[in-house]
Structure 1
Amino acid sequence: MKLFYTPGACSLSPHIVALEAGIDLDLCKVDLKTHTMENGDDFRKINPKGYIPALQLEGGEILTEGATIVQFLAEQKPNAHLAPPVGSLAHYRLLEWLNFLSAEVHKLFKPLFWDGPEDEQKEARESLVRRFDYIEKRLVKDYLMGDEFSVADAYLYVLSRWLEDQQFDMSRWPKLQAFQERMAQRPSVKQALQEEKL
């Protein structure tokens, strides 16, 4: 399988999950400003939506949307225990977290990354503080789902790195900071950061 990625972007999440699961991925770097791949080809021919991540499966099919890709990867290696069994309540709790992170947190960074109007940036920052206040209250154990790492933690780790990039005051969220430190010690995270030259 091939992962189309941009260093440090949301594609870092499936990269970490694949390493956790022991799934070998070919990596293809994408420049999001020009929509070109390392070989100069137009990435929109791979993903017409124009954004990463995209995962090319063995048969050539393309899977998009990070929350979907991490679930797919987890289900390829159920013995890695990266997601609860399908049909269990815990599985739906995982979907709940993935949807929240995608729809309510991830999208709020857009005006910050793409130099949106000042009022949009201010509103996004205020909304992000509220969302991460909620996450802070829910981080009562080591990971989002409790004591065990799940694919949602890879996603949260990437989003929390963006807070630092955007110069949020991280001292507001001590549990999140402890989570980041735990995540930074995972071999999969160290390897993904190294491979993406971060």
Structure 2
Amino acid sequence: MKLYYSPGACSLSPHIVLHETGLPFTAVLASTKTKKLQDGTDFHTINELGYVPVLELDNGERLREGPAIVQYLADQVPGKNLAPANGSMERYRLQEWLTFIGTELHKGHSPLFAPGTPEDYKPQVRERLQARFAWVDKQLAGKDYLLGQFSVADAYLYTVSRWGQYVGVDLSGYANIVAFQQRMEQRPAVQAALRAEGLLA
């Protein structure tokens, strides 16, 4: 398998999950700025939408969108318990979290990364994100992970919660999120993905 990624982008989530699975894969750097691979290939020939992540399977088929990719990966190694069983209420809880992180947190950051966003609009964006993270902080009370035990949703939350340091969304007041981030950073798979993306100090 190949994972097309950009350092620190949302592709960090499947990158972490790949390390959790233990499955063999190749990580291929795809610049979100130049839209080119390191060998000069136009990334649009891999994903015409021009963004990461993309998972290329050994048969050449490609899967886009992080929440779909991480569930696919989890289902390849059911014994690792990275996602609850398909059809169970717990699986729908996982999908609920993946959807919330994708729509409320991930896309909620988009205006802060977009160069054309008016400066006077950004405080509203940050305020909305703070409110969403405050809710997540409450959900993590008394739990190590979103579903109680580690799942692919935690890799996505960890990835998105890292972005605040770059766009002025301060999460330091949310003790449960801070503890969650620290817990995640102790996982060997997280360390391996961060190291591979050049994100470890």
Pairwise CA distance, 1:105: 0.9
Amino acid at match of 1:143: Y
Aligned-residue identity in percent: 51
1:37-92 alpha-carbon deviations (Å, 9 max, x no partner): 11111101111111000010111111000011000000011111000000110000
2:147 to 123, 137, 145: 145
Contact 2:111 2:125 in 1 (8 A): yes
Q: Give the Cα separation in 1 of the matches to 2:25 and 2:131.
A: 36
Contact 2:4 2:27 in 1 (8 A): yes
Q: Give the Cα separation in 2 of the matches to 1:41 and 1:14.
A: 22
**TM-score normalized by the length of structure 1:** 0.97
- Count, aligned residues: 197
Is residue 109 of structure 2 the alignment partner of residue 130 of structure 1? Answer: no
**Superposition CA RMSD, Å:** 1.0
Pairwise CA distance, 1:104: 1.1
Amino acid at match of 2:131: R
Pairwise CA distance, 1:24: 1.6
Q: Give the Cα separation in 2 of the matches to 1:145 and 1:120.
A: 34
Counterpart of 1:55 in 2: which secondary structure?
A: strand
- The runs of 4+ residues in structure 1 deviating greater than 3 Å are none
Counterpart of 1:172 in 2: which secondary structure?
A: coil
Q: Give the Cα separation in 1 of the matches to 2:105 and 2:171.
A: 16
Corresponding residue number in structure 1 for 2:170: 169
Amino acid at match of 1:153: D
Contact 2:126 2:168 in 1 (8 A): no
Pairwise CA distance, 1:4: 0.3
1:110-148 alpha-carbon deviations (Å, 9 max, x no partner): 1111222223322221111111011001002000001x1
Question: Structure 2 matches for 1:173-188, cutoff 5 A?
Answer: 173-188=174-189
Pairwise CA distance, 1:13: 0.3
